[in-house]
Amino acid sequence: MSEPLLQVKDLEVYYGVIQALKGISFHVNKGEIVSLIGANGAGKTTTLHTVTGLLRPKHGSIVYDGKDLTKVHPHKIVSMGLAHVPEGRRIFQNLSVYDNLLLGAYTKNDKAKINDQMEQVFEQFPRLKERRRQLAGTLSGGEQQMLAMGRALLSDPEMIVMDEPSMGLSPLLVSEIFEIIKTFREAGKTVLLVEQNAKKAMTVSDRVYVLETGSILTEGNAADLVNDERIKKAYLGE
Amino acid sequence: MSIISTLINGLSMGAVYALIALGYTMVYGIAKMLNFAHGDVIMVGSYVLFVFTMKSIKNPFLAILLAILFCVILGVLVECIAYRPLRGAPSLAVLITAIGVSFLLQSVAQLIFTVTPKQVTMFQFNSIEFNGLTIKTESIITLVVGMIVMIALTVFVNKSKTGRAMLAVSEDRGAAQLMGINVNRTIVITFAIGSALAAVASVFMLFIAPVTDPTLGAMPGIKAFVAAVLGGIGSIPGAMIGGVILGIVEQFALKYEFLASYSDAIVFAILILVLLVKPSGILGKKRHEKV
Ligand SMILES: Nc1ncnc2c1ncn2[C@@H]1O[C@H](COP(=O)(O)OP(=O)(O)O)[C@@H](O)[C@H]1O
Ligand SMILES: [Mg+2]
């Protein structure tokens, strides 16, 4: 088997003296959708922030595409093909939808290619096209999530990490978001998904890691874990 | 009819305050700090103008270019040496450092040029007579150049890639990094632009009164800060509006004898009023950070 696209080993992250990650290891193979599930405060966001350089680990390694990300400047990571759709969307509220998407392509210089990507995103999210001149802050929650995903797509990523994309959305929209995640797989992208909605996450994932208070509790194929009694009780509400 | 000339003076004074206020507001918006040494960049600019308009050299246009260049380099150095190491430090530490930089610049100017005010004459202006109205040419130049600079800045910030990066960093530094924006580089560019605007303001300051001393930047610096707060600190159009309002109010106050000696007090009364009534300023957004 070939090297995983993302390989995280013994990751320890602190906020001051508080240890948020207690030496976690996981990997994501090329073309996979892998979910990281766990309760509020388990350390999911911390993990993703450390992977894309917003936080630095005290210990451990993050190897993406053969390169150690812990030694890369955070603003250089997106140009390596790794895009991050952050928790709470974090779109630029005071900028137009179009400017937000352009910022997604900030590391790109080929204007024709950017326009191409922009057209593709508009095709996938027609609502964004209609509203491209509007301030992003005026969009609804679902539209903002789509903008956050579209913005990530404009960097033409090989891998996307997503932090609770379904948070705060109506059930209908949640289903729509997961449909979109499936299209990422069809487009050949690799996905690391963080979700509290474990049930939904498992339906789209190949493999799942369960995170509890900074440690990985268990891992396995999504198909196996949905039938695991412990997981059912704790995370699937059955 | 003198109301019109007061208005023009007010607008041109306002343009000067606006140029300085832009430096405060952009640095605040993007680096999230109050650069209290910003006013002293004006003073440094004025001494560069002094040196290159002395009898032996006497080249005002070269002097203006060099003043801009010198101030830009100074602004970038101050950011890299004094402020960058404190990124993420408590805002009080940054504020104290900025005040320290201000003292340092004033002291160095005093060492080199002494406290004796220096005469700086760049151009000879004639007044324009119009329908029995006397208008100062320098006021018109200040107003026109000030407007051109501000329009150019607005276009740059809203339409260029670098400008968009500045807006992104000011809104969400972390998310901006995820887009691939180099935050430190963006902050340096902001300091460079703010310092260039301060250098332009120093030219206009010397149009109004052609003398400089090491404290030249202190009062206009503080007033421009009031203008930035009035317009909503962090907001670029806010700084422009705040500056113009301040300039007009001040010039009208100076016009009436019973108010003239209170003109500075009026400016600060405006600050207190704004802080009481609408702390976020005219165009400001509610923010969680404390100033
Ligand atoms: N900025 C912070 N400062 C201090 N502690 C934090 C900070 N962010 C998160 N934590 C703590 O780290 C732990 C993991 O948080 P987080 O990664 O946000 O969890 P999750 O995303 O799984 O809900 C929690 O105990 C949380 O309280
Ligand atoms: Mg989280």
Q: Which residues of B touch A78 (CB under 8 A)?
A: 178-180
Of B125, B33, B41, nearest to B77 (Cα)? B41
Res B287 pLDDT > 50: no
- Cα dist from B228 to A118, A159, B286, whole Å: 37, 43, 15
Question: A191, A202 in Cβ contact below 8 A?
Answer: no
Ligand 1 pocket test, pick from A15, A47, A166, A217 with the greatest ligand atom count within 8 Å of Cβ, gives: A15
| Domain final residue pick, A133, A156, A179 | A156
Q: How far is the CA of A163 from the centre of ligand 2 (A)?
A: 7
- Cα dist from B155 to A126, B17, B20, B73, B151, whole Å: 29, 20, 18, 24, 6
In this prediction, residue B286 carries a pLDDT of 56
Q: Within a 13 Å sphere around the CA of B194, how many CA atoms are in the beta-carbon half?
A: 38
Q: Are residues A69 and A168 in the same domain?
A: yes
Q: What is the CATH number of the domain that holds A29?
A: 3.40.50.300
In this prediction, residue A1 carries a pLDDT of 58
Tally of structural domains, chain A = 2
Q: Are residues A57 and A174 in the same domain?
A: yes
Res B121 pLDDT > 80: yes
Helix axes B263-277, B218-231, angle to 10 degrees: 30
d(CA A34, CA A201): 9
Q: Digits of tens for pLDDT over chain A (238 positions)? A: 578 999 999 999 999 999 999 999 999 999 999 999 999 999 999 999 999 999 999 999 999 999 999 999 999 999 999 999 999 999 999 999 999 999 999 999 999 999 999 999 999 999 999 999 999 999 999 999 999 999 999 999 999 999 999 999 999 999 999 999 999 999 999 999 999 888 899 999 999 999 999 999 999 898 888 787 777 777 776 6
- Secondary structure (3-state) at B195: helix
Domains of chain B as residue ranges with CATH: 2-114+137-277 (1.10.3470)
Of B139, B146, B107, B106, nearest to B125 (Cα)? B139
Q: Are residues A106 and A134 in the same domain?
A: yes
- Give the pair of three-digit tokens for residue B213: 């001393």
Q: Are residues A100 and A140 in the same domain?
A: yes
Q: Are residues A200 and A227 in the same domain?
A: yes
d(CA A121, CA B266): 54
Kindly report the backbone phi and psi dihedral angles of residue A208, in degrees, each rounded to the nearest multiple of 5, phi listed first.
Answer: -135, 140
Residues 142-171 of B with CB under 8 A from A: 161, 164-165, 167-168, 171
In this prediction, residue A238 carries a pLDDT of 63
Residue B115 is given by DSSP the state: S
| Domain final residue pick, A109, A139, A156 | A156
- The percent of residues above 90 in pLDDT, for chain B, comes to 77
Res B129 pLDDT > 90: no
Q: Are residues A73 and A165 in the same domain?
A: yes
Which amino acid appears at position B42 of this protein?
A: I
Q: How far is the CA of A56 from the centre of ligand 2 (A)?
A: 17
Contact flag B180-A86 (C-beta cutoff 8 Å): no
In this prediction, residue B142 carries a pLDDT of 95
Please report which confidence band the pLDDT of residue B208 belongs to, taking 50, 70 and 90 as the band edges.
Answer: very high
Out of B164, B167, B180, closest to residue A75 by CB: B180
Distance from CA of B181 to the nearest CA of A (A): 5
Q: Are residues A73 and A173 in the same domain?
A: yes
Which amino acid appears at position A176 of this protein?
A: E
Please report which confidence band the pLDDT of residue B145 belongs to, taking 50, 70 and 90 as the band edges.
Answer: very high
Question: A209, A21 in Cβ contact below 8 A?
Answer: no
In the structure, which protein residues have their CB atom closer than 6 angstroms to any atom of ligand 1? Answer: A 15, 18, 20, 38, 40-46
Q: Are residues A103 and A152 in the same domain?
A: yes
Q: Are residues A70 and A174 in the same domain?
A: yes
Q: What is the pLDDT of residues B228-277, one digit of tens each?
A: 999 999 999 999 999 999 999 999 998 888 888 888 898 889 889 888 98
Q: Are residues A176 and A75 in the same domain?
A: yes
Q: Are residues A201 and A152 in the same domain?
A: no
Contact flag B177-A155 (C-beta cutoff 8 Å): no
- pTM (two decimals): 0.93
Q: Which of B178, B285, B286 to mutate to test the interface with A (most CBs of A within 10 A)?
A: B178
Tell me which residue range forms the domain holding A140: 88-156
Nearest CA to ligand 1 atom 2: A15
Could you write out the DSSP letters of every residue in chain A?
-PPPSEEEEEEEEEETTEEEEEEEEEEE-TT-EEEEE--TTSSHHHHHHHHTTSS--SEEEEEETTEEGGGS-HHHHGGGTEEEE-TT----TTSBHHHHHHHHTTT---HHHHHHHHHHHHHH-HHHHHTTTSBGGGS-HHHHHHHHHHHHHTT--SEEEEE-TTTT--HHHHHHHHHHHHHHHHTT-EEEEEES-HHHHHHH-SEEEEEETTEEEEEEEHHHHTT-HHHHHHHS--
Q: What is the mean pLDDT of residues B82-104?
A: 95
Residue B89 is given by DSSP the state: S
Q: Which range (A190-199, B59-68, B202-211, B263-272) has the least confidence?
A: B263-272
Mean pLDDT of chain B: 92
Q: What ipTM was estimated for this complex?
A: 0.94
| Domain final residue pick, A132, A156, A180 | A156
Contact flag A92-B171 (C-beta cutoff 8 Å): yes
Q: Are residues A164 and A234 in the same domain?
A: yes
